[in-house]
Amino acid sequence: MDNYWEDSWHRLKSNKSAMIGLVFLVCLLIFAIIGPLFSKVTYYDTALALKNTPPCRQFIFGSDELGRSLYIRICWGARISLFIGITAALIDMIIGVLYGGAAALFGKKADEVMMRVADLLNSLPHLLIVILLTVLMNQGILSIIIAMTLTGWINMARIIRAQMISLKEQDFVVAAMAIGASRWRVLWRHLVPNCFGSIITTVTLTIPHAIFTEAFLSFLGLGVQAPFASWGTMASDGLPAMSFYPWRLFFPAAFISLTMLAFNMLGDGMRDAFDPRLRK
């Protein structure tokens, strides 16, 4: 197992695009945590006399219609967007691993019923379900996460189920069950560790999808509500002013695009590193 992780890390390091994505994400995390410390103004400071100021020494990314620093707001927006994206992906991982593992281990009848339920949920338009739930529930971070994870775990469940069905025929799993190990013990001690590469890769590729969904909802006014703001909220606020104050739309849109690109580059690299057979 140690050699497997060492080989995977070596393959990941040799993938330049994956490492560029990783470095960008680490820098983004540092920027989100300590970025506000390098500004003299706070998140709530307004200065109407300085509204819509273009990027300058005082306002690195310019200011908005209330004279608030876009730099500070993007720092806090990074915290909100990353928190929602990572939390939703982790919840999808937990539900998907449990559901997919149970479907793979508990016999053909249980597998058939469980996967038909998953197919039924997957047939529902994901974005439409998310929008409906955010409208019905109180709008906020919690409602966004709940709405995104309602059907977001299905892809993880399918991947884990397929991999565990092939793994449970291996000798080490057959031997564990022959000596009386319970299905849940086999799941956690033998199958999940051997699926860890696929789990990490799927989570990494799920995060940008969750970030984009949150940004889209916030852009429509169904996401994070004032006084908090995510990148999607800032992009929505900057759209009407695009012709005269383009920086108000450019910076949040650029951070959304670059973050999604970095996660996808890292996810593709991790997929190739953990399973070289998938390389083209």
3-state secondary structure of 182: coil
Tokens describing residue 174? 């057959």
Average pLDDT, the chain: 86
- Asked whether residue 118 carries a pLDDT value surpassing 70, the answer given is yes
CB–CB of 232/84 below 8 Å? no
83 falls within a domain? yes
Residue 229: per-residue pLDDT: 83
Q: How confident is the model at residue 250 (pLDDT cuts 50, 70, 90)?
A: very high
Answer whether residue 57 is part of any domain: no
Q: How many CB atoms lie within 10 A of CB 240?
A: 12
User: CB neighbours of 137 closer than 8 A, spacing ≥ 6?
Assistant: 143, 146, 147
CB burial readout 98-121, b (16+ within 10 A) else e: bbbbbbbbeeeeebeebbeebeee
Q: Check pLDDT > 60 for residue 1.
A: no
Q: What's the half-sphere exposure (Cβ side, CA atoms, 13 Å) at 140? A: 4
Whole-number Å distance between alpha carbons of 240 and 8 = 47
**Mean pLDDT value of segment 137-145:** 80
Contacts of 261 (CB under 8 A, 6+ apart): 21
Q: What is the gyration radius of the CA atoms in the chain, in angstroms?
A: 22
96: domain CATH number is: 1.10.3720.10
Predicted local distance difference test score (pLDDT) of residue 70 = 92
Report which DSSP code applies to 57: S
Q: What tokens does 263 get?
A: 């996660």
Residue 253: its pLDDT value, please?
93
Number of structural domains in the chain = 1
Residues 6+ apart with CB under 8 A from 230: 77, 80, 81, 84, 214, 215, 218, 223, 224
pLDDT at 265: 92
Q: Do 104 and 54 contact (CB within 8 A), yes or no?
A: no
Quick one: average pLDDT of 144-151? 86
Residue 12 lies in a domain: no
Q: pLDDT-derived band of residue 79, with 50, 70 and 90 as boundaries?
A: very high
Summarize the confidence of residues 183-189 as an average pLDDT. Answer: 78
Considering the domain boundaries, does residue 52 fall inside one?
A: no
pLDDT band at 280 (very low <50, low <70, confident <90, very high): very low
- Residue 138 scores a pLDDT above 80: no
* 187 is a domain residue: yes
- Is residue 139's pLDDT more than 80? no
Q: Higher pLDDT residue, 109 or 6? A: 109
Q: How far apart are CA 104 and CA 99, in angstroms?
A: 9
pTM of the entire predicted model: 0.85
279 pLDDT exceeds 50? no
Range of the domain at 82: 70-278
| Position 11, amino acid | R
Q: Is residue 203 part of a domain?
A: yes
Backbone angles phi, psi at 58, to 5 degrees: -75, -40
Strand, helix or coil at 135?
A: helix
The answer to whether residue 116 is domain-embedded is yes
User: Could you tell me if residue 78 is inside a domain?
Assistant: yes
